[in-house]
Chains A and B, each alone.
Chain A
Amino acid sequence: METITNLSPIILALPFLMFLFLGLCGNKLFKSNPNIAGWIGTAGLSVVAIVSYYIAIQYFWVEGKGADAYQQFVLFNHEWLKMTDNLVISIGFMLDPISAMMLVVISTVSLMVHIYSLGYMHGEEGFQRYYAVLSLFTFAMMGLVVATNIFQMYIFWELVGVSSFLLISFYFIKPSAVAAAKKAFIVTRFADMFFLIGILILSYYTNTFDFLKLTAVSDGHATLVNTKMCGEMFMGLSVTSIAMFLIFLGGAGKSAMFPFHIWLPDAMEGPTPASALIHAATMVVAGVFLVARMFPVYFFEAHDVLTIIGYIGAFTSLFAAIIACTQTDIKRVLAFSTISQIAYMFVALAVSGYTSEHEACLGYTASMWHLFTHAMFKACLFLGAGCIIHAVHSNEMNAMGNLRKFMPIAHITFLVSCLAIAGIPPFSGFFSKDEILVAAFEHDKVLYACQAFVAGLTAFYMFRLYFRIFWYSENPAHAHHTPHEAPMNMNIPLIVLSVFTCFTWLDKVFPFFPEKITADRVGYELETNWIIAIASILVAVVGIAIAWVLYLKKNDKPDMIAGKLKCLYISASHRFYIDEIYLFITRKIIFGGICVAIAWFDRHIIDGFMNLLAWISRELSYDIRDVQSGNLQQYAWGFLVGVLAIAMFAINY
C-alpha cells in the first residue's frame, strides 16, 4: 500500500514535468536532432506506464480487495483551494477499479502513440511541441481519471480540452485545421459550461465536491445527495435530475454525443496518432467515465436522466453508424465509428443496475469493458489508418485499394481490429459488445433492437472500409509511388495493440472485468447468454457479407443502391446536415437575428451612453481649457475676482 502511495505522484508529476521540459526547452535543446525530444518523451511515458501497470496490478490482485468489495483508496489529497469549510477543491489521487483500469488504458495507448509518432511524425516541423502536448495530454487525462473530487475532474477536463485543441491545430498553417480546432474547442467548451453549472448546483446542495461522499450508497440511495437534495424542485423538475443532466451534457460534449458530435469528425485534422490517442481512445470516453464515476447518483437519484442518456446514446450510435457508411475519408469513417461506439458505452451504462447480484450491473461492467477494448482496437485502427495515409498520402478511399500486397502488417492488424469492432469472436469487441447487448436485452427491448442493428451496420461499414482499403480495385490511383510498409517503430504499436485485441478471450478463462469492475465493486460470475451471442455474431456476419458483396471487387452495385436510396444516401453523406443546421442556427438566427438586436442595443444605447459621457467631458474640457490660457492677465483677473469674492464673504459673514 505504501509503495503505491509513494509511486502514485509520479503518474501525474512525470508527464507534467515532461511537458514543461519539452515545451520550454525542447525547441532550443534539440534543434539539430528533434528525435531526442521524442525519445525523452517516450522514455518518460514508459516509466509512467510501468508505474501505472504496477499500481493497477497491486490494486487488483493485492491491495484492493476488501472484505466483500473493492475498496476506494485516496492515495493523497492535497487541499488546494479552500472556498468554505466544506467546499474545498483538492488535487488528489483516487484509486478504485475504474480509475485503475483507466490508468492502464491511458498509459498503454499513450505509450503506443508515443512510439508510433517517432516514425509517423519524423521530420515534422514542431516535433518537440507535439511531444510536449502529448505529455500535457497524458498528464491531464491521468489527473482526470484519478480525480478525488468533481472539481479536480473539471479542471483536468478543461486541460484535456486544451491539449486536444493544441493537437488538432498542430498544423496551424492549414486553415481547415485551425477551423476544426476552434470548432472542437467551442463545442466542448459550450458543453462544459453546462457541466460547470451542474457541478455548482450539485455542490451548492451537497456542500461537497468529493466523489467518495457524493457516491456513497446505503439502503438503495446515494445517501448524501438523497438527504440534501431530495424533494428540491425547480420548474417542476427535480433539482438532482437537472444537475445530473447538466453534468451529463458536459460528458456528452467531450464524448461527442448528439447533438454535440459535430466537432469530432473535424478533429481528424490533427496528426493521426494524436487522433488515435485523444479522439478515439481516451479523451472522448471521458464522458462515459464521468457517468460511470457518478453512477450511483445517476442510478438512485436521477434514474430518469439515465434513461434519457440511454436514448440519446442509442440514437447517436445509429445516427453515427449510418453516416459512417457513406463517408469516403477513412479517418472520418473511423471518427463516426468512434461516436457510435462511445454511444454504445452510454447505452450500456443506461441499462445497467447497481448491485452485482444476478448480474444486475452487467451494463456497467460491459460499458467499462467496451471502453477498454474499444480504446485498444480503435487506437489500432487509427494507427493503421495513419500507416496507410503515410503510404498513399491521402485520406480518401479512392486513392487506396489492393494495399494488402504492399503493407502486410498494417493489413493483418487492421483486419483483426475490424473483426473486433464488428464483434466476431474471439476478438475483444465481441465480448464487450455482446455483454452490452445482453444488458440492453434484459433492460429494454427497443434499445436492444437498435443496438443490434447498429452492430450490423458497424460490421458493414468497417468492412466496407477494410475492403476499400485493402482489396477493391486492382489498379488504384496510388499517388506518385508504390506504397510501402511503414517503419518498425510504427508497426510495433500496431502489433501490441492487436495483441490486446486478440487475447481478450482470456477473460473467459481468468475472469477480470465481471469480477473486478462493477458498479458496487463487489463482482460476480458472468454467464454467457448464448442466444444473444449467436444472434449478434449472425448480425455481424451479415454485415460483413454485405460489405464483401459490395466492396470486394470494384462493381456498380454500391452506386445502384445509393441511387435507390438517394435521399437517405445524400443526406447521410452530408452528415444529415447537422453542421448546416448549426451554421443556420448560429449564423442566421443567433448572429443574424438575436445578435443584431443586441448589437444595436450595445452600439447605440450602451456605447451611446458611454459616448455621451465622453462627449460631455470633452466639451467640458474644451470649455475649461480656455481657463488655462497661459495669459498672465487672465490669471490676474481671476485672482482679483477670487480675492474680492473671498473678502466679501469673509467680511460680511
Chain B
Amino acid sequence: MIPVEAYLVVSTLLFFIGVYGFLVRKNLIGILMAVELILNAVNINFVVFNRFLYPDHLEGYIYSLFVIVVAAAETAIAISIIINVYRKLKDVRVDSINELKN
C-alpha cells in the first residue's frame, strides 16, 4: 500500500518544478507549459486526497475534472493571445513584451 505522503511528495516536487519553470522560462509558451505542470501537481493532490481521505464522495474527483476543463480553456485563450502578441510584436519573449509600459 502506497502512503498518502508519497503522492504528496511527488505532487509537491512537481509543483515546484513548475514554479521553477515559470520563473526561468523566457517565452510565453514555455511559461504556459510550466503552468500546466503546476495544475497537474494540484490535480494529483485533489485526486489523492479524495481517494485516501474521503473515498465516499467525489469532491476532489469532480474538482480535478473542473481544473482540467479550466486548464483547457485557459490554454486556448492564452494561446490565442500569444498568437496575437506574436502578430503584433513578432516576439513572444516576456522581457520584450513591454509595450504597455510606455
Contact = CB atoms under 8 A, between A and B. Distances in A.
Contacts of A631: 94-95
Contacts of A640: 19, 23
Interface string A66-88: 00000000000000000000000
Interface SS, B side: helix
A633 B100 contact: no
Contacts of B100: 630
Interface in B73-102: 94-95, 98, 100-101
Nearest to A634: B23
A620 interface: no
A631 B101 CA distance: 10
Interface in A596-653: 630-633, 636-637, 640
B37 interface: no
B31 interface: yes
Contacts of A637: 23
Contacts of B24: 633
A631 B23 CA distance: 11
* Residue picked from B31, B95, B98, B100, most chain A C-beta under 10 Å: B95
A640 to B, nearest CB: 6
A640 B18 CA distance: 12
A53 to B, nearest CB: 77
Contacts of A636: 22-23
A291 B31 CA distance: 90
A633 B30 CA distance: 12
B19 A633 contact: no
A634 to B, nearest CB: 9
Contacts, number: 18
A632 B98 contact: no
Contacts of B19: 640
A630 B101 contact: yes
A633 B23 contact: yes
B98 A630 contact: yes
Contacts of B25: 633
A632 B31 contact: yes
A646 to B, nearest CB: 16
A632 B98 CA distance: 10
A143 B30 CA distance: 85
A636 B101 CA distance: 18
A640 B25 CA distance: 16
Contacts of B95: 631
A441 B96 CA distance: 100
A607 to B, nearest CB: 34
A630 B24 CA distance: 16
Contacts of A630: 98, 100-101
Nearest to B16: A640
Nearest to A636: B22
Nearest to A637: B23
A632 B94 CA distance: 7
B97 to A, nearest CB: 8
A629 B75 CA distance: 25
B102 to A, nearest CB: 10
Contacts of B94: 631-633
Contact of A633 (B22, B98, B101): B22
Nearest to A628: B101
A360 to B, nearest CB: 88
Contacts of A633: 22-25, 31, 94
Contacts of B101: 630
Nearest to B26: A633
Interface string B2-42: 00000000000000000100111100000100000000000
16 contacts: A630-B98, A630-B100, A630-B101, A631-B94, A631-B95, A632-B31, A633-B22, A633-B23, A633-B24, A633-B25, A633-B31, A633-B94, A636-B23, A637-B23, A640-B19, A640-B23
Given A630-B98, A636-B22, 10 more contacts: A630-B100, A631-B94, A632-B31, A633-B22, A633-B23, A633-B25, A633-B31, A633-B94, A637-B23, A640-B23
What 6 A-B pairs have minimum CB-CB distances, sorted nearest first?
Answer: A630-B101, A632-B94, A630-B98, A633-B23, A636-B22, A637-B23
